[in-house]
Amino acid sequence: MKNVEGPAYVLGHGLLSGRTAVITAAAGAGIGGATARRFLEEGARVLISDVHARRLKEYEAELAGEFGGERVGAVPCDVTDEAQVLALFEAAVREHGRLDVVVNNAGLGGTSCLVDMTDEQWAKVLDVTLNGTFRCVRAALRVFCAQEPGGVIVNNASVVGWRAQAGQAHYAAAKAGVMALTRCAAVEAAEYGVRINAVSPSLAMHPHLVKVTTDELLEELTAREAFGRYAEPWEVANVIVFLASGYSSYMTGEVVSVSSQHP
């Protein structure tokens, strides 16, 4: 199948003007970094976080140079550490007075057949990807449920939470858990005017994925996509912008597939 050329980059339309957002795992060229940039292009103020302090500082400086330092901040955060999660959200409220959007992008993958997978491999992926999302959702809700209007949470899931893929049992279980967490939390948060949704990308290319995935598997996954190409991280970020904006005001508890994948 011939690869289809990717689309032109979409310009901002002020969809998030005046909003303040926290975005986890946002230091780099992946979905988190693309989301931070798209939010800024849509008029938001962003507080980015990541476990990699050096890369976080470098990306903060890059974004501040483009969009102004008053609209960009950064706080290192390991989502497996409850104290660091609380410090991140306290910093957001302290610096901006309120919080409007939280994007939970932090996750950890890896490839291992289940028969060879260790307890440590299983636990590490679950702790970052599922438990980390839980910690951040809980912290966000404690802020949102005490303010008017509430706020919006967007979690990053994955199509492997729906579809089987060899070597991905821990990651698939974690992402399926993120989907279930999204739905349950949305029901609980609705009375406070808080919306919680998730995106479920299939294949978005970024440098980290290349490091942990073989060329053969990437070719196989790309071949499954109807467009014959992988998604650019900003294409997933565009859907996150939609879910964070007023255009999705009646949506909560939904998991939106960002995919062209066919069976």
* Residue of 238, 22, 20 lying closest to 136 (CA atoms): 22
Helix, coil or strand: residue 183: helix
State whether residue 197 is helix, strand or coil. Answer: strand
Q: Report how far residue 172's alpha carbon sits from residue 158's, in angstroms, rounded to the nearest whole number.
A: 8
Neighbouring residues of 151: CB distance < 8 A, sequence distance ≥ 6: 99, 100, 101, 102, 140, 143, 144, 194, 195
Q: What is the dihedral of CA 235, 237, 240, 245, to 10 degrees?
A: -100
- What is d(CA 78, CA 85) in angstroms, rounded to the nearest whole number? 7
Catalytic site residue from 171, 230, 247, 250: 171
Active site residue 171: yes
In the sheet that holds 72-74, the strands lie side by side as 72-74, 45-48, 20-23, 101-104, 151-156, 194-201, 255-258
Positions annotated as catalytic residues are 171
